[in-house]
Structure 1
Amino acid sequence: MSMELMVKAMKTKVGNPLRKLVLVKLADNASDQGECWPSYQHIADQCEIDRSTVRRHIKQLESQGLLRIENRDGPKGNSTNLYYLTLGGVGRDSPPVGTESTGVGPQPTGGVGPESTRTSHSFEPVNEPTPLCKPDPMEGFDQFWKLYPKKRSLKDAKKAWAKLKPDADLRQTMIAALGKQRLQHDWTKDDGRYVPLAATWLNGEKWNDELGPATSGSTRPSAYRNLPTHTPDMYPEAPDGRPNF
């Protein structure tokens, strides 16, 4: 590590916080002559950004005249980048060095391929990562409501769903259980008179109930006549394409 380069890197204005971080990391790996050869992946891991972002910012630093890139062949035929930092003249006229370089940066463990020498002419602003949005507590409710046979007390049903906030696995379990329960005798007799309200079903975690006897015959009560028996987007399926109920 070159303390002189680290100080100069910290004082250099590059116009982008991530680019500044990459420059400081290169200075951290550089010798007093400004030489270093860290891999894209090593820089990405240390700076907690992805490889493509590292590559883009290194090309921008080169276009700003803050470093010089030389490509060299590795012992196994792979190619790596050798960087010369040119901050305040340090390393600007340094000759290329061979394998006996005193650079302290870690040697690349694998070739970076042709992308290491690909020139980027993009000068568009970098889109920085945005914080992850909170999950929507009502995600999956429309699918559940479409399947549920008793369309009453929608407001209470939404309130119960928002309180439960089921994840993807639980939603799949609930939909699969509902697909089976709506065919049992207690739910189909008397035109679905004994089907619980959706809010009651959710608050009581009724998807865990044991199943009663299924309805016999092909006639479906009026409460079910407008409901599809199966659609791919409503029921989870087994790998062979059959419904899991």
Structure 2
Amino acid sequence: MSMELMVKAMKTKVGNPLRKLVLVKLADNASDQGECWPSYQHIADQCEISRSTVKVHIRELEKSGFLRREFRRKGELNQSNVFHLDLDGGAAAASGGGASENPPGASENPGGGAAAAPRTSHSFEPVIEPKPLSKPDVMEGFDRFWKLYPRKVNKTPAEKAWAKLHVTPELFNVIAQSLAKQISSIDWLKSNGQFIPHPASWLNGKRWEDELIPGTAGKPSRHTGFDQIDYEEGLELDDQGNYRIAGNGQ
């Protein structure tokens, strides 16, 4: 935690109470150099808002110059972004860009203490999460699904099927856990995977809801451990061909 950044974040006007909360949380995680790399889900959990709302406010903070995102990858897998905070350079951009999103009466507040605030009643103005400024990414999570699915054919129809599902993080976890079980089922193990359905058919049929017959002990699948994976950190293969959590040396 950087106390200097925390103080600056508390004094910085960003034009929206939830956006201010996200900025303070980033400052709480940041080093003295202004760098931090919390996941979107961690920020959402700590601020008690949705993951999509966190993304909206981070994009707006980036547009206003308060932060810069550094996208990281490990091979084909995405990792948590590195956020570089700049609470000095972004102040000028915020003074004009975010003012329209203030709650009623906020533009009249000169920025002083409690006595300087306008005498406005907020009894009929509950704080709610703002509507996203852009449509959610319907393809979010597809690359991770494609990485996990053992039969990689007809990718374009699979992408269309994924887009229609509007997969939430909760649904993705259900899909991934079910996929981990089906990979070791009798039907998927026999004949070198000949009977594994195409990914588009599997998605369109909501096949993650299927009841399965467990695989035999004599035919273990090399695709194991998916239900224990931290999907934010990604996957990697060990020397024996088994999937495991990236960076786990066991």
- Which TM-score band (shorter chain)? 0.3 to 0.5
If the length of structure 1 is used for normalisation, what is the TM-score?
0.43
If the length of structure 2 is used for normalisation, what is the TM-score?
0.42
- Rg comparison, structure with higher value: 1
